[in-house]
């Protein structure tokens, strides 16, 4: 049984997971949230399964020390490479971003031609493909890793021609394949929504995994009676593993509001 007043714990390789918090705050404004961003060891996108599994366990252990009632793994790379391990290891529910996004993609896809973009680790793991195929074997999946997107977004070159050109190059193959749905399988990509829509065209459905996981967490807390009282406004505590200055500066864009109360651990 969940303790209603305990916080939702969430971790990411850095500040990208703030896009998930942004959606969680919309869906569950009364919940307390403890966020851990592993800013000292970011990026996770190019690292091995062994390394990511070790980092993910350390991050989850940190959240468990804060007595969280549920752990949300915001990082797609961590989910792809270590979610099953985490689910087995902890007593509290561990929720990833993959299943909710995949379910939505299958629901929305008209022609069962689905694209997936993410980091090298996420795409190489093939986990999105497996999850999609589990729901519908007939789905045609086209994936592409877009490793330059993360640094471009962190550089705040979101509405820049350079980003648009790089996006065109990454996405041209998926466009040729005439996908009808595209899963943004990386914490950072919701910030590129406008650029990606411009490149892919309005008729391609974009699936924001951050939005989908927030809905899933809400459902889970409702079902298990773990929601916090409706009158209380929630609080967010942010922890990072390196200097908080950059996290505070860039993170506001991801969160959609100013960040305060960041502690280095
Ligand atoms: N958070 C990572 C993800 O969603 C992107 C950034 C990184 O490579 O660490 O896969």
**151-156 LR contacts (CB < 8 Å, sep 24+):** 153/188, 153/189, 153/191, 153/192, 154/15, 154/188, 154/250, 156/250, 156/253
261 is catalytic: no
For the question of residue 186 being annotated catalytic, the response is yes
pTM reported for the whole predicted model: 0.95
The conformation of residue 192, written as its DSSP 8-state character, comes to G
* pLDDT value, residue 233: 85
Residue 1 clears pLDDT 60, i.e. is over it:
no
Q: Which domains, from first to last, does the chain contain?
A: 8-96+211-264 (3.40.50.1860), 98-209 (3.40.50.1860)
Q: Which of 79, 146, 186, 236 is catalytic?
A: 186
Among protein residues, the one with the nearest Cα to ligand 1's atom 6 is 43
How many angstroms separate the CA atoms of 108 and 27, rounded? 21
Instruction: Check residue 3 and give its pLDDT.
Output: 67
* Ligand 1 site residues, Cβ closer than 6 angstroms: 12-14, 16, 42-45, 75-77, 118-119, 122, 150, 186-188
Cα–ligand 1 centroid distance for 75 (angstroms): 6
Which of 16, 35, 152, 208 is the best mutation target for the ligand 1 pocket, counting ligand atoms within 8 Å of the beta carbon and taking the most? 16
Q: How far is CA 33 from CA 7, 29, 58, 265, in A?
A: 5, 10, 18, 17
pLDDT number for residue 230: 67
pLDDT (tens digit per residue) in 67-99: 999 999 999 999 999 999 999 999 999 999 999
Indicate which atom in ligand 1 lies nearest the CA of residue 44: 9
pLDDT digits (tens, 9 = 90+) for 19-67: 999 999 999 999 999 999 999 999 999 999 999 999 999 999 999 999 9
Q: Burial, 258: exposed, middle or buried (Cβ in 10 Å; 0-12, 13-18, 19+)? A: exposed
Q: For residue 133, how far is its CA from the centre of ligand 1 (angstroms)?
A: 23
CA–centroid distance, 77 to ligand 1, in Å, is: 6
Contact 252, 49 (CB under 8 A): no
Sequence-separated (6 or more) residues with CB below 8 Å from residue 50: none
DSSP state of 94: E
Q: What is the mean pLDDT of residues 111-138?
A: 97
Pocket test for ligand 1, best of 10, 13, 154, 241 (most atoms within 8 A of CB): 13
Protein residue whose Cα sits closest to atom 8 of ligand 1? 45
Q: How confident is the model at residue 161 (pLDDT cuts 50, 70, 90)?
A: very high
Q: Say which DSSP state 190 is in.
A: G
Please give the distance, rounded to the nearest whole angstrom, from the Cα atom of residue 230 to the centre of ligand 1: 33
* pLDDT band at residue 2 under the 50/70/90 scheme: low
Catalytic residue among 75, 79, 146, 236: 75
Distance 231 CA to ligand 1 centre (A): 34
Our CA angle for 227, 71, 66, nearest 5°, is 85
């Amino acid at each position: 049984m969940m303790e209603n007043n305990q916080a939702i714990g969430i971790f990411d390789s850095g500040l990208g997971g703030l896009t998930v918090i942004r959606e969680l705050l919309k869906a569950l404004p009364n919940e307390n949230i403890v966020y851990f961003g592993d800013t000292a060891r970011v990026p996770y996108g190019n690292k091995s399964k062994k390394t990511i599994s070790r980092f993910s366990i350390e991050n989850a252990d940190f959240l468990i020390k804060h007595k969280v009632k549920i752990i949300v793994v915001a990082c797609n790379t961590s989910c792809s490479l270590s979610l099953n391990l985490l689910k087995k290891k902890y007593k509290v529910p561990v929720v990833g971003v993959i299943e909710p996004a995949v379910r939505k993609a299958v629901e929305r896809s008209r022609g069962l031609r689905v694209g997936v973009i993410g980091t090298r680790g996420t795409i190489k793991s093939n986990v999105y493909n497996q999850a999609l195929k589990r729901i519908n074997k007939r789905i045609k999946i086209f994936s592409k890793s877009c490793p330059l997107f993360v640094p471009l977004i962190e550089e705040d070159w979101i509405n820049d021609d350079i980003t648009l050109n790089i996006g065109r190059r990454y996405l041209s193959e998926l466009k040729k394949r005439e996908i009808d749905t595209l899963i943004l399988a990386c914490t950072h990509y919701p910030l590129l929504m406008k650029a990606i829509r411009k490149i892919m065209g309005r008729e391609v459905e974009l699936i924001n995994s951050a939005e989908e996981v927030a809905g899933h967490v809400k459902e889970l807390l409702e079902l298990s009676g773990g929601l916090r009282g409706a009158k209380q406004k929630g609080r967010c505590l942010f922890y990072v593993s390196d200097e908080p200055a950059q996290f505070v500066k860039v993170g506001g864009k991801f969160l959609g509001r100013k960040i305060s109360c960041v502690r280095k651990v």
